[in-house]
Structure 1
Amino acid sequence: MPPSNTPTLRQQRLGAELRKLRERSGLTSTAAAGLLGVKQAQISNIESGRYAVSADRVRTFARTYSCADAALVEALAAMTGGRRRGWWDEYRSHLPAGLVDLAELEHYAARLRVALVIHIPALLQTTDHARALFRTVFPPLRQYEIEHRLTHRVKRQGILHKAAPTPYTATVHEAALRMGFGGRDVAIAQLKHLLEMSELPHVTIRVLPFGEANFHGTGQGIDYVAGAVPQLDTVQLDTHHGCEFLDGEAQLTKYRSVVNHMEASALDPEASRNLIHSIARDL
């Protein structure tokens, strides 16, 4: 199979994790190639995500690299499968790569935890609320660009409605509930939608109220995407220049702590529903 010049985030992560295993074993790529009976260029292409690799080959690499973490090895093996296309791939020519990669990341997540201050979480937004947000983007989006983003966002939300939905916890600051994007009717409908979603057994919504002295955050949206094992977790940050993905051990530790602290500082789910209901009533 020829190498791919545009590996997905998932393919790049698999390659990066294989590189970590090799480096921890003390092997150079040349030495590893010799032990595995392949060319050094093939090792480099696999580690960059440009070559597909089979589950059996991943296990062989792990044995060669003396990796005794069976759970990690099997989680990496599950990330293989060649170049299977997902629904998100149809958007690669229409949307920024980060948005497409985020959809793929969410699709394979074991659990999702998000923390936001100004915005309602994307997976909990109504179509009207999302459309109102996209109309505030600068430089302004063309109408067809808005529609591409809308359909993409709605399809992303499917992970909360499938037969085995992904566990989802959202910590949202009260400020986000009062922003009023789209006007009063849209804002009320959005808050009612949050209340409906909060009743689902796999969805937990917690609100950080104004006046919470222990609030810890910068206003930057955080998506903490749990992998099959903790080593494969990923953090996605919303920035003005687009999605930023982090997977370094120190970075994961930091943002796991931030999300934990924000969840602990927020109201419990029932008190959060009461506050959402009160805000909707007062609009």
Structure 2
Amino acid sequence: MPPRKLLTVRKRRLGSELRRIREHAGLTLAQAAERVGADRTVISNSESGRFGVSPQRVRAWADSYECPDAAYVDALAAMAAERMSGWWEHYRGELADGALDLAELEHHATAIRSVQIMYMPGLLQNEEYARAVFAEAVPTPNPERLRCLLSHRLRRRDVLDGVGAPTCTFLVHEAALRMTYGGAGVALGQLRHLLQESERDNVMVRVIPFAAGGFPEVGSSTQYVHGPVPQLDTVQTDTATGPAFIDAEVRLVNYRAALDRVERLSLDPEKSRDFIREVAQSVRV
């Protein structure tokens, strides 16, 4: 029996988009199969992500379904053309699939916008702070698992570097700034690291002070990851069992609106840096 292919979130997403195009065309599986000249089980398995699909087939099916959005079809064909395994596959079998899917999602992002309430953004955490956060997990990870979690977390930060790095907006609540994971020394080091990272050309940190009052419920940790076209955007939220991924069109619209409102409540980047410096100065080591 051939080895079972990995069904990643990205592969499932490609399949679900193919199904979406077909359904928007008003075609049943049987009708689509007749139109494209393929067995309906091939289409069904491709839409579920169980079968791979070539860029040529993506374009042929989209053409048969009369999809009018050329940029959308181009983006799907590019997804179908991906063959190389990313660095995150090194952790396959050691970490939960959701952690690997998150790294892959960030790797392909054109822009990232996140809201953090209790923790510093994962992409902006330094090693000592990340270690302290992981140490609070229940059950407490053993040394080998902690090493693996920490290595993966720090490797994710590479997405901020190099040509084509996504533009990132991090909305950080004052509560996250004042939490002292690992003690005052670790907290101070993380605040200084946050200030340093905020100077990157592709990184904008904006603080949501307690004085801003209430804001839309977006979850304790939420990332809105922009794809090459809006139809391929994804929301990632943290849950007790790991990251959850959301791509339903209506929910994406709602999350965009919620993040817009939160951003309007936040301080601008320069005032945010001043605020972070004030918090850092209040830390007593």
In the alignment, the residues of structure 1 paired with residue 10 and residue 269 of structure 2 have an alpha-carbon distance, to the nearest angstrom, of 33
Question: Cα distance 1:19–1:144, how it changes in 2: closer, same or farther (>3 A)?
Answer: same
Question: Cα distance 1:4–1:81, how it changes in 2: closer, same or farther (>3 A)?
Answer: farther
Give secondary structure in 2 for the equivalent of 1:189: helix
Deviates more, 1:252-261 or 1:265-274: 252-261
Give secondary structure in 2 for the equivalent of 1:228: coil
* Counterpart position of 1:223: 223
- Structure 2 counterparts to residues 205-224 of structure 1, below 5 A: 205-217=205-217, 219-224=219-224
* Counterpart position of 2:203: 203
**Contact preservation (8 Å) 2:171, 2:263:** yes
Cα distance, 1:3 vs. partner? 8.7
Deviates more, 1:2-11 or 1:189-198: 2-11
* 2:264 maps to 1:257: no
In the alignment, the residues of structure 1 paired with residue 237 and residue 162 of structure 2 have an alpha-carbon distance, to the nearest angstrom, of 25
* Counterpart position of 1:84: 84
In the alignment, the residues of structure 2 paired with residue 13 and residue 164 of structure 1 have an alpha-carbon distance, to the nearest angstrom, of 22
* Counterpart position of 2:60: 60
Cα distance, 1:163 vs. partner? 3.0
In the alignment, the residues of structure 1 paired with residue 245 and residue 264 of structure 2 have an alpha-carbon distance, to the nearest angstrom, of 24
Letter in 2 for 1:177: L
C-alpha deviations, 1:88-120, integer Å up to 9, x for none? 111120111111100000000110000011110
Letter in 1 for 2:104: E
Cα distance, 1:242 vs. partner? 1.2
Letter in 2 for 1:53: V
Cα distance, 1:197 vs. partner? 0.6
In the alignment, the residues of structure 2 paired with residue 146 and residue 254 of structure 1 have an alpha-carbon distance, to the nearest angstrom, of 36
In the alignment, the residues of structure 1 paired with residue 273 and residue 66 of structure 2 have an alpha-carbon distance, to the nearest angstrom, of 50
Letter in 1 for 2:239: T
In the alignment, the residues of structure 2 paired with residue 276 and residue 228 of structure 1 have an alpha-carbon distance, to the nearest angstrom, of 33
Letter in 2 for 1:124: L
**Contact preservation (8 Å) 1:4, 1:51:** no
Cα distance, 1:14 vs. partner? 0.5
Cα distance, 1:125 vs. partner? 0.2
**Contact preservation (8 Å) 2:118, 2:176:** yes
Give secondary structure in 1 for the equivalent of 2:138: coil
Give secondary structure in 1 for the equivalent of 2:245: strand
In the alignment, the residues of structure 2 paired with residue 192 and residue 198 of structure 1 have an alpha-carbon distance, to the nearest angstrom, of 10
Deviates more, 1:23-32 or 1:151-160: 23-32
Aligned length: 282
- Structure 2 counterparts to residues 7-22 of structure 1, below 5 A: 7-22=7-22
* 2:277 maps to 1:277: yes
In the alignment, the residues of structure 2 paired with residue 109 and residue 143 of structure 1 have an alpha-carbon distance, to the nearest angstrom, of 32
* Counterpart position of 1:25: 25
In the alignment, the residues of structure 1 paired with residue 194 and residue 3 of structure 2 have an alpha-carbon distance, to the nearest angstrom, of 44
Cα distance, 1:81 vs. partner? 2.1
* Counterpart position of 2:239: 239
In the alignment, the residues of structure 1 paired with residue 4 and residue 154 of structure 2 have an alpha-carbon distance, to the nearest angstrom, of 29
* 2:158 maps to 1:163: no
Deviates more, 1:22-31 or 1:81-90: 81-90
* Counterpart position of 2:128: 128
* Counterpart position of 1:101: 101
Give secondary structure in 2 for the equivalent of 1:120: coil
Cα distance, 1:22 vs. partner? 0.6
Structure 1: gaps of 5 or more residues: none
In the alignment, the residues of structure 2 paired with residue 74 and residue 4 of structure 1 have an alpha-carbon distance, to the nearest angstrom, of 28
Give secondary structure in 1 for the equivalent of 2:224: strand
Letter in 2 for 1:109: A
Letter in 2 for 1:251: R
**Contact preservation (8 Å) 1:111, 1:225:** yes
Question: Cα distance 1:216–1:27, how it changes in 2: closer, same or farther (>3 A)?
Answer: closer
Residue identity over aligned pairs, in percent, reads 46
Cα distance, 1:35 vs. partner? 1.9
* Counterpart position of 1:149: 149
Cα distance, 1:216 vs. partner? 2.8
In the alignment, the residues of structure 1 paired with residue 107 and residue 84 of structure 2 have an alpha-carbon distance, to the nearest angstrom, of 13
Cα distance, 1:213 vs. partner? 2.6
Q: State the TM-score, normalizing by the size of structure 1.
A: 0.96
In the alignment, the residues of structure 2 paired with residue 91 and residue 28 of structure 1 have an alpha-carbon distance, to the nearest angstrom, of 39
**Contact preservation (8 Å) 1:3, 1:50:** no
Question: Cα distance 1:30–1:218, how it changes in 2: closer, same or farther (>3 A)?
Answer: closer
Q: State the TM-score, normalizing by the size of structure 2.
A: 0.95
In the alignment, the residues of structure 2 paired with residue 178 and residue 280 of structure 1 have an alpha-carbon distance, to the nearest angstrom, of 9
Letter in 2 for 1:21: I
Q: What RMSD over aligned residues (CA atoms) do the two structures have, in Å?
A: 1.4
Give secondary structure in 1 for the equivalent of 2:211: coil
